[in-house]
Structure 1
Amino acid sequence: MTAAIIFAITIVLPNLFLMGLGFFMKRRGEASQAFIDQASSFVFNYCLPALLFFSVVDSEVDYAKQVVLIAAGIIVTFILFIGSELYAKRFISAPADQGVFVQGVFRSNMAIIGLATVANAYGDIGLSIGAVYMGIVTILFNVLAVITLSRVSKSADDTWVSRSLMIVKKLLTNPLILALLAAFAYKALPLPPLTGVIHTTGDLLAAVALPLALICAGASIDLKSMLHPSGLSMQASIGRIIVAPILAITIGLAFGLTGVHMGVLFLMVASPTAAASYVMAKAMGGNDVLAANILAFTTVVGLFGMAIGAALLRGLGLM
């Protein structure tokens, strides 16, 4: 069990340290909001796509064997979505709060926290499997997020047709999804391996992605919101930090997942609420203050939950 605890600490602690560095830099005035916004945009549009593209292109993973893992992730996502929808309709009255609550429960931060933790745990193989998982489930996340946040219409022109077009536009312009599709196409075609200057440049961009993303996440933490969560944000946080990981383990066991596949499923699902949830809630007229509170609390506390779950799974030989 000692080895399992050490394993859990080693995969989570580097993330906490980098986030702590970002928080420290923000407090010292070394990371302005403009820097955070620009760096986050740089990571999202260039560094993470490079990381995902070269992770897939360089890997020898048989992606056909990831079908069971992806199916398990899709089922977990749907159960969390439907369960939180039913809970919101029963116990939450304000439409502006309902969609934000639901998104806070089902949508995890796979692209930053999830991938970084998987990379710490399993190296390049885990990163490749996690990238494929993330690519598929991210599409589902975007569709479900638009559906649940559509309770609040900001204008008379906001119809199901406009929302559907918005979903399609988001998917077709998402640099992470485009990078994964390009990588799959490159591997499927009889093209020579990428080497030399192109690969070196891609490696340098990829190396920046996760550390800079974690620093920006730490710098974005609102300590006041984290320490004084509302009743509703605490309920959503419980769903994200406790219910989601337990459900992931249950579904993973039902699908017979073990080793790296169980590890990827657990770490991706158990990650804190996605940073994109705040942006989308604000854009679609949801309660952005509630979204910020959920994001802040789960970003810090959720990492400890991931460590505890990883230690238990490792101790039982399941991860």
Structure 2
Amino acid sequence: MVVAAYKPGPRNLITDVKGVRVGHAQDESLRSGTTVLTSEAPFVASVHVMGGAPGTRETDLLAPDKTIAAVDALVLSGGSAWGLDACSGVMDGLRAAGRGLQLGEALIPLVPGAILFDLLNGGDKNWTENPYRALGRAALLAADVDFALGSVGAGTGALAAMQKGGLGSASIVLGDGTTVGALVAANPVGSVTTPGERHFWAAPYEIDGEFGGLGPDPRGGLGGPLVSAKLAALLGARANTTIAIVATDRALTKAQCHRLAVAAHDGIARAVVPAHTPSDGDLVFGLSTGSGSPASDAQMLEIGHAAALCLSRAIARAIFEARPQPGDLLPCYQSR
């Protein structure tokens, strides 16, 4: 039996999901930046963490049993704990635009966020005032349906085990018209490429040569100890994390968004080896911009499957699209 392959949306970006907008801001001297996802209206979201070293803000309110029904934006940022202040800048911008939860006279934009560690990547971190609040607001103002991949936004200073990391995205349109997309800042301790750094672990899921079209590594016996130029360059193991957002235009409850985030973690495990380590803060937000009746269990199965596929592809695209800068600690994939 021949089964028709999935196809990406027209942009092959998470913004193929109706209503979603993404913006970046970065500082090249800092070698860091921020990425913001927002939508035309508040959206349902949840989160699932599988890494041992996460850095987050306002994620507790995304649990299915918590009162808040929808949020206004999600933030992925570099900067480790400093980068969480990017959420404050996004709140400032949303409030100025009249967006947020109205409680009497108080207007409170709801902006959960997650960070990756890029403080030892060679950039100038000797600031006197935390730069991430301004980066967050700038990224919000830049939010649009089209956005760049690679060494931008939260992926500006990212590093994988053997090459520069980056910011990636991908989408899939299901047979019933449902769109699923992923957005990721890939900064893992694990490798995104098989030994020799030519083939991506995510290669079996590639569509239309989106990250080089070399196909899977034909060799067997690829499992082995972690080899990491990143660990050697940074002189330590706690400088990692893959943080991501998966989205659909299908109507989902908050509990279903949580299940979507859980399923999407398979995409990290297929694209990064090893994944979900004690030294990573691997985290996935799941969101829905849709309205109408919630998806059935059978529909959730396919939506979660598509989210994992999108996330694997987005991770490979993040590394494939990375671009060199003077003073890089690791080479770019396309420079090898």
Judge same fold: TM > 0.5, yes or no: no
Q: Which has the higher strand share?
A: 2
Identify which of structures 1 and 2 has the higher relative contact order when contacts are C-alpha pairs closer than 8 Å and 6+ apart. Answer: 1
